[in-house]
Amino acid sequence: MEENLKEGDLVLVLFKNGKKSLHLLTKKGIHTHRGYLPFEQVFSSGYGSKLTTNLGEEVFILKPTFSEIVSKIARRTQVVYPKEIGYALVKLGIESGSKVLEVGTGSGATTIFLANVVKPNGRIVSVDINEESLRIASENLKKFSLLNYVDLRLTDVRSGIEEKNFFDAAFIDVPEPWIALEAISNALKPSSRVAVVIPTYNQLVKLSENLPEDFVFYEAADIILQEIQAKRGAVRPLPLARAHNAFLIFLVKVKR
């Protein structure tokens, strides 16, 4: 069944060169770097349509995916990109009903993905020491109607987590994750998976040297995304790959 567009809907404009831009559909229409699309033209055509801007540029009007919307949310800290988040979600083994602890809320981008997976019966507890980060995260979660599945806490993880043997998994994105691991150990169930995000080799080395005894290494990865230009007579890798953004370290909580 075809989905009709309405004022206030988000629209993804796809250009012939593969570039994309996200827009809120209003009565003022859509202004892009390659021309203007009137509201009535977009509204009457609907998602999936090919339109032409006033500058003669052919574009496609698409319904944005969850990932494409999240990538445009407000942020104040470095964001873990979908190439890392997607892999982490799979490796953590979380599902609807899972209880996940997040250490380092940031803008809430990862929180949104986590909450979207565990809803409607799961729960995310996300802690951060920065009040402004939590405010932004709260606003972003509200945009996706996910705040009801998340408990945002202004606290230093070093003071510990009140839940005991409660969480099925954890996602850690702080500068000194080895300290966080010590603080959250009692909150995790045995055999629960933990994903740690760190940007530098120095942190990776220090984590390996300071790993608490009730955690063991499961995997370390650096996700590289090489996009391909796919044009008739010109199929080749694009010159700029999405290479290193952060290392992903996967641990397992064990009994000692």
Give the whole-angstrom CA distance, residue 65 versus residue 218. Answer: 31
Q: Give the separation between CA 89 and CA 130, rounded to whole angstroms.
A: 25
pLDDT digits (tens, 9 = 90+) for 124-166: 999 999 999 999 999 999 988 999 999 999 999 999 999 999 9
Question: In the predicted model, is pLDDT for residue 1 greater than 70?
Answer: no
Interval 69-88: pLDDT, tens: 887 775 656 667 888 999 99
Q: What predicted TM-score, i.e. pTM, was given to this entire model?
A: 0.84
- Domain range 68-253, CATH class: alpha beta
CATH topology of domain 10-64: Vcp-like ATPase; Chain A, domain 2 (3.10.330)
Dihedrals phi, psi of 65, to nearest 5 degrees: -80, 170
Decide if 10-64 and 68-253 have a common fold: no
Domain borders along the chain are 10-64, 68-253
Pairing state of beta strands 150-154 and 123-128? parallel
In total, the chain counts a number of residues equal to 256
